[in-house]
Structure 1
Amino acid sequence: MTYHLANGSIIGDIKEFYYKDKSKMLERVIQHVTKNERITAIDSTGSLIPIRCKEIVKVQLNYLG
């Protein structure tokens, strides 16, 4: 997933939610971002990046399969 933040930053997260049903996956992503105050992204080097959910303006899914 890629998180686009209000300040213009873009954070790539190697975690994805894998469901065969695309609508179920989108529903899970929406719940994850809207129901939590903070989330933690993991970048490609394995670093943990805390993100305040209020700062997220867009989530881009990199994998739909």
Structure 2
Amino acid sequence: MKPNHVHLRDDSSVPDDASKSDLDTLETAKARQDLSHQKLERFIAEALAELSDDVRAA
């Protein structure tokens, strides 16, 4: 019978500073991605509004 939990070993080959640095890098990348998505959403909304205005004018 398999246990219902998994034991994760303590990986002592990676110092705490390295894992914190990796976490900081991931958080920075996520923030940049979020900003990029916001810019894209704004661009799409503006393009749709412009197209909508063009359709009304026609």
Q: TM-score range by the shorter chain?
A: under 0.3
More helix by share: 2
- The higher radius of gyration belongs to 2
More strand by share: 1
